[in-house]
A and B are shown apart, each in its own frame.
Chain A
Amino acid sequence: MMRETWQRLKSDPYGLSGLIVVSVFFLIASCVWSGLLGQGWYEVSGTRWEGISAEHWFGTNLIGQDILQRTLFGTATAFEVGLTVTICSTLLGTVMGALSGWYNHSWLDEIILWLKGVLDAIPFYLFAAAVAFALQGSPWAMHVAMIVTFWTTTARIIRGEVIRIKQRGFIEAARAIGLPGLKTVFRHVLPNTFHLLLVQASIVFVAAINTEVILSFLGLGIQDGVSWGLMLAESSQEVLAGHFGNFLAAGTALFLLLMGFNLLADALQDALDSRRIVR
């Protein structure tokens, strides 16, 4: 199945370009993590609001930090947030969805469904603000806020799939040969829902990056370090005075990465879902 997917993805120019964009950004992020790039994000290396030069490709900000360095470091921040949130919320959603699907109509299912309903009913930014407050000072406040809200869709998908597959025969068969219930779910059901998870994960990733920007802008984002959201927040105080460095650098980087991910997600969906008619 993976092979087939890859073939389809390769033949889709949009998806392929999306993949390339995402890979390039991921490469940048890896370089930042391993200390090759963007290490000077906090250093003051110039005077304020310098224009574009050989030394400062994207110019400098108010306090004289290099905007290029900050943009590069922001890439790592975006991936760090995106990956953490995606992995955790997918795991959480999978477990919750599997539990509630497997114990369909039991009290456990009811509680999980109720929790989902409640979380869906609270406007996201308010909720994120509230979590950020409750965990004030913790560098993970924003991550937690996103994880606890983003798992619901994944759980809904998994729950539906589990119920569907449960009704089919082969789980019954596994049960008949003596495999315990929940273990069976993870062994047999999850591989069958892998493609759905992958698509949902890419959607969550996009949402996480987008949300980080907005939360950072509202001042509920990351603590130390720099992110595109913080750069945009900075830029909102500068653009009216005619300094566009932060805005252009962070805005463009953000747009490219999101675009790459959206294209990739679409292509994945097309490639994995044989029902869909290829464009």
Chain B
Amino acid sequence: MLGVTFISFLLMVYFGPDKTYELLGKNPTEEQIREVRHELGYDRPFLVRYGDYLRELVTFDLGLSDSNGEPVAAILARTLPVSLALVLPGFVIGNLLGLALGLLAAWYRGKWLDKLVMSASVVGMSISFIVIIIGLQILLCTPYGLNLFPVRGWQVDGPGSYLYYVTVPTLALVLVTLGYNTRFYRAVMAEEIERDHIRTLRAYGASPAEQLFKHVLKNSLVPVLTRIMFSIPFVVISGSLLLESYFGIPGIGLVTFNAITSGDQPILKAVVGLTGILFVVALMINDMLYSLVDPRIARP
């Protein structure tokens, strides 16, 4: 955790973007440049700034945005729910669909269905996120395609408008993750299905559903959950960064992107710290899940 904050602080803040010139008036003097740098705290020693950062993170006193003076905590509180609402459906559907397809492929391993699913997933893996986003936009949001959904924006005030704005980003997210997810889940399931006790079950004539749900899924819960847990911080930050900057959605990704391009360090510091925390939390939850799930894996 300390490492994450240290390296990210070093890179994002110490060597990071500089807001001085954005805050200067026209025809500034050297003295005014020094003044602004002083106001922004750029002239303080590295360790002092880093110490302040740690204190801010621990006390959750994240300061005010350099761009618009809003408290960073308020910005996060406003944008995080938007990002979650944006990526959650895609994340859930992508994983469930991947799980289902992976299971299907593993079950019919070597049959044509398996080959079809696996070929499709390789195709899916080979399309760049950007291409998917632009392609979907052409197909669904413009007069050159179906023109059903908005090109951009996020004016959600009910389930209807939510679906209206979230559909295209969700589809993009599902498409880009599905290939990877399917392959991963197939590999996990295939290993599980090959295990002796499943074979035994099969030999004893247990119904396929019983085999699948009672044993295969249950036993592969650990790797599946691990993957899901660890991808959460990344999907929330990285996925939303692209989706939100492309679709103009006021979530944490767009805020981060704007902070990068305008040098708004208080926001960058908070986002990096937050992901570090998320990661550690994911790690802890994962450990907990292990201890919860593990004893139940009874090996015959």
Chain B residue contacts of A259, Cβ below 8 A: 122-123, 126
* CB neighbors of A among B122-162 (8 A): 122-123, 125-131, 134-135, 137-138, 142, 144, 151
**A261 to B279, alpha carbons, bound, how many Å?**
31
Q: Which residues of B sit under 8 angstroms from A277, Cβ to Cβ?
A: 110
Minimal beta-carbon separation of A207 from chain B (angstroms): 11
Select one of A121, A219, A239 contacting B142, CB under 8 A: A239
Interface contact B279-A121, CB-CB below 8 Å? yes
Partner of B128, one of A114, A210, A242, A261: A210
**Segment 234-275 of A: residues with Cβ below 8 Å from B:** 235-236, 239-240, 242, 244, 247, 251, 254-255, 258-259, 261-263, 266
Contacting residues, chain B, for A235 (C-beta < 8 A): 134
Indicate if A191 sits at the interface (CB-CB under 8 A): no
Q: How large is the interface on A (under 10, 10 to 19, 20 to 34, 35 or more residues)?
A: 35 or more
Q: Does B85 contact A (CB under 8 A)?
A: no
Min C-beta distance of B295 to chain A, whole Å = 26
Interface string of A116-136 (1 = CB under 8 A from B): 011101111111011101100
With A130-B16, A134-B15, A251-B134 already in contact, the answer to whether A124 and B128 are too (CB < 8 A) is: no
Q: Least Cβ distance of A192 to chain B in Å?
A: 23
**A213-B126 contact given A118-B3, A121-B4, A122-B7, CB 8 Å threshold:** no
Q: Verify if A91 is at the interface (C-beta below 8 Å from B).
A: no
29 A/B residue pairs, CB under 8 Å, sorted by A: A14-B119, A121-B275, A121-B280, A122-B4, A122-B8, A123-B233, A123-B234, A124-B238, A125-B237, A125-B242, A130-B11, A130-B16, A133-B12, A134-B11, A210-B128, A210-B129, A214-B130, A218-B245, A239-B144, A240-B137, A244-B138, A247-B135, A251-B128, A251-B135, A254-B131, A261-B126, A263-B122, A277-B110, A279-B110
B contact residues vs A (CB 8 Å cutoff): 3-4, 7-8, 11-12, 15-17, 110, 114-115, 118-119, 122-123, 125-131, 134-135, 137-138, 142, 144, 151, 233-234, 237-238, 241-242, 245-246, 256-257, 260-261, 271-272, 275-276, 279-280
